[in-house]
Structure 1
Amino acid sequence: MTNLVILFSVILDVLVIFALNNFLMSENIQQKIESLREELHQHNYNYYVLDNSTISDKDFDKLLNELQNLETKYPEYQNNNSPTQRVGGTITKNFPAVQHQYRMYSLDNSYDFHDLEDWEKRIIKTINEPVEFVAELKYDGASISILYENGKLVQAITRGDGYQGDDITENVKKIFDIPLEISKKDIPKRFYFRGEIYLTYNKLNTINRYRELEGLEPFMNPRNTASGSLKLQDSAEVRKRGLCAVCYQLIIDDNAFPTMSHYENLKLAEYMGFKISKYIKECYSMEETKEFILDITKKRKNLDFEIDGIVLKVNSLQQQRLLGYTAKSPRWASAYKFEAERKETTLLSVKFQVGRTGTINPVAELEPISLGGTLVKRATLHNEDIIKKLDLHILDRVFVEKGGEIIPKIVGINPLMRSLYSEPVTFPINCPECETKLEKLEDQAAYYCPNYLHCHPQVVGRMIHYVSRKALNIENLGGETIEQLYREKLIENPADFYTLKKEQLLPLERMAEKSAQNILDGIEKSKEVPFEKVLFGIGIKHVGETVAKKLVKNFSTIDELKNATLEELCQVEDIGMKIAVSIIDFFQNSENILMIERLKSYGVQLEKGENTNEVLSNVLEGKTFLFTGKLSLFTREQAEEMVEKHNGKNISAVSKNLNYLVVGEKAGSKLKKAQDIGTITILDEQQFLDLIG
């Protein structure tokens, strides 16, 4: 009897332990699911509402897949509000919210060929048939759904959260790639255009050139510029941006125009007048899709627009219907994503630097990381709005990418790693150099110091600009020397260079007699520099190299320019109100007038010479040039002048818009990039001279 009691007691203990373990395991699983949901909701909110991505696509997908697997395995913890049951998050209601008749799904992402092979296996297992694909570019822009009825554009809606989006019809009507009416008669009575709104690099560069002329901050990248442009209140401004649109699908209400394949669907769109991508391929095997991906990966850097991957779709529409959808995505489509290099590091501090024109530039000081093959210690923050948008705190863990693969930038923060005691980054009220109260540029996020005549970095910056190669080109007079001269109170503005004496230069650090004489010789030689370069060099706000040339074409002397009216200035090509006002303000300052009069008295060229801007021939008309490497037959400045004298155009970077690259000795990355593009004519110096006769 005693043995039975003991046995029963042991069994009871085992059952209790088993039940307790199950209870604890169940509780842990529930906590894990709820934790994942909370984290994914936060990432969705950061991305869709705050437009502030705090996690890479790859890491987000890993979390989402983990949650989906747990919910499938433990259906008792299903929740209709789970991130797996919907796409995205809350709508930003700057425009009226409209329900999508046909939901706009997101795509499952793949990051390697193994993912694609697994995806193909799942498809074949589901439909038990061979499958063909269509491969096309994944444009990095803003998705749009546009309703057409009886050949006329009726309504355009942003993607939003997939269920509803914002009505931006009037803005979309300003995009020239999108027809307002379709002239073809044999078309569906009612259908939806699904596509991507994007901006080319060329258009972005044009926009930024004009913004820089007006003293505005340049836009950061094509994607954000395109997305932001669609929400502008003034549709006329949207038209000026030059947005593009490409179709990736038609949804037709009736069966009057049944197409058998996705490829035929795109061709129907092209027939009706919509733009489709030039890079579309019907692939009859997964191997062909891989070849397409590898080919586009090579060509990607030469495209004039951003892509962030390749979209693969099952070609047969009947097979698409059989495959259907998950709660999040179509089973018949997958996006192969190019992974941008992004790393996490610590924000150590933010320094506020004063630029030559007085703009306050915040720079993030980072714990050093290797990114894109270089050691990154600093990153741009652009302006106060970026700081507020990121909600930056000192010692935050931040995500850093290279903007355009060149300039490091902070793209997000890791809120889970923030200390309770960290201090938020605040923009200064006064100039960090001279303590003058900062002023905000109208309609911009930029602040500037108005004390431009006496703020140390601005004064020194203007004098460094004056001696620079594209201005007065005074050799041997560098920034360090100018800084010393200013500290010793020997110079305060460019006119003071012409009063310097050798005995004033010799006491400077690392200054020998020969160096001092070379500086004085360079200053004397600068008196021969033509008017347009002097005008650029004196540093009138918003007057760049190109604007200076156009001003000299219209005003022969500095006095003519000084006495020009606002109306006369605005009549000059590319001179807008901001530039005109800046010129008038410059000449209304007595210190600037005194400097100009002193420059004239020292013999600096402040009137147009007889041969200035003379065009010798039109032999280079419509052709673009760039010079690289060490030139031996002429200087780079002389070469660029020869191009202009023969009606050609100089550009600053290698792109498909470049016609001729002229190379000297030890040409490097520009030559390699031109060879990769393949359409650029490469010349040596003598061949360039032969070209102009």
Structure 2
Amino acid sequence: MGAAQTIQLLRDELNTHNYNYYVLDNGMISDFDFDVKLKKLEQLEKENPLLFDANSPTQRVGGAVTKNFNTVVHKNRMYSLDNSYSKEDLLDWEKRVEKVLGSSALEYTCELKFDGASINLTYENGQFVKAVTRGDGFQGDEVTNNIKTIRSIPLSLSADFVHNFEMRGEIILPLDGFNSMNAERIANGEEEYRNPRNTASGSLKLQDSAEVAKRPLDCLLYQIVTSERKYKTHFESLENARRVGFKVPKAIKLVKSIDAVFDFVSYWDEKRHDLPYETDGIVIKVNDLQQQEELGYTAKAPRWAIAYKFKATQVTTILNAISYQVGRTGAITPVANLNPVQLAGTTVKRASLHNADQIEKLDIREKDTVFVEKGGEIIPKITAVDFTRRLENSEPTRYATNCPECNTLLVRSEGDAKHYCPNEFGCAPQITGRIQHFISRKAMDIEGLGGETVDLLRKEGCIQNYADLYDLTVEQVIPLERMAEKSAQNMIAGIEKSKEIPFEKVLFALGIRFVGETVAKKLAKYFKSIDNLMHAEFEVLISVDEIGDRIAQSIIDFSSDEGNIQLINRLKSYGVQLEVSAEILENQTELLKGQVFVVSGVFHQLSRNELKKAIEDNGGKVSASISKKTNYIVAGDNMGPSKLTKAQDLGIEIISEQNLIDKIS
């Protein structure tokens, strides 16, 4: 038998043993025998370097050192999930789903929601290619070398499956493994890790993959993303993923009613404490993949899925003092400074009190004993006061009247829950916060420049606003603390490159109050340039889809401020993109202006998303559900019969994919 054949047989055998042990929990050979075979394979690969395979079982032991984790843009965005906390929330979600699909005959999958670090695994022709963290959903850090060390993740697929796909999952640290790691740290006199989730997440960013290999990390998979239409349902795709080697939890259940969903929730609310890893809820998904596609996404989450969060753990502690934070928009947030207390695996020292109304509603006072829980198991919040333990000399809380940073008198508009510091250009946290927002990933995405550096640059008098960034030089920033020449060069290069960022992101970066990422896209698409936007009247602004009175007035206030006008003019002079590029405009028309489309079914020339983009690029609006305002339904194969009936009842014209293409040709 030749070396190549022997090597391949050993690889196949070791992959099978890895799968049996780490996925099926059914080891067939001893650790000693496994190590003997692995060492034999390592020796043969060393003697035959031309037969090297990046996905060989020998690569799981790690050893590669990654000093800088490259930022990678996700091919398919990683969305977050909308949360629910009651059965009423789930019923409301089902109604929204039925309204869009026009059907009540739905199947759901119920899955445990794992508390770990989200990961995106890319496979091409059955081979593992790369792994990228969730990041902000649009882009994340490539951690391929570290992920290879997790033995429950298959590096190559021997059985027939989808050819090119992404597998989404959660990197977790099982409780036994976490406890063993902490026992070892205690024995060595080191500080314990706080909780499994943060430890798992931190492990992915260790520079030495050999260190990652020593940690008992696991990966639980929950979604396949592919353009191939091999499977019709989410459940079927996951069952086949398990068949070819992926660790898909067996707790997943296919149900045919919302009542069965409630039963699943009730069962696991009790049984979750018996699991070998942490879970904080249930994820419910529409099972049919075509229906998922039809439901689509909001700006932040899929409409076809929702998370049910288990009731949060609650503890009591003492509220020592109330302090006040200033945000980038000048919004004041009261913060409870607490006696440190353990809550859901972390030490909680602070909790948001939200606003003056919340403090008054709960009658929260300093030195009170308060009940604290984590909203959605993440953000600590005070839910109530234990009045039986209130001190006799307790005084009602008097909300701050002046800014804690610049002492400016606070203002509060009618109908607004928050107090604000109006000293926009003279209040340090507002200055720093606006610049930090400007450079953030979803905005100008300036590499080599972080929040701490921004604060340092402001304190040293180098910048007072985001336009000042474009005047910075390498020579100017090198003398700063902890700033090497290479770091200074990277920062200035990152600032220069940000001039290529498209207008919609620049508009979001400006930090106009109430203009978030989605609103910025709509405004950029409608007005095409900052000049058109800043000269728009109130009536024109509110005529834009989803732009209400509050956003319109905020834009007018921003546009009429002399300081903001000067900043915009400076950004123009530096070459920042403050209008839609000619290339994008060339592909846009107003052929479909004022027309509302619903896209339903399976298409052949263009994908559903490409059809929607084509409609929007030509001035039309895409709606998720049929109504009297709908002008056309673009119908593909397998369009739902209930949708067809509703369209006919309302007299809405039904057109084909080709009809739409002809309209915009």
TM over 0.5: no
How high is the TM-score relative to the length of structure 1? 0.43
How high is the TM-score relative to the length of structure 2? 0.44
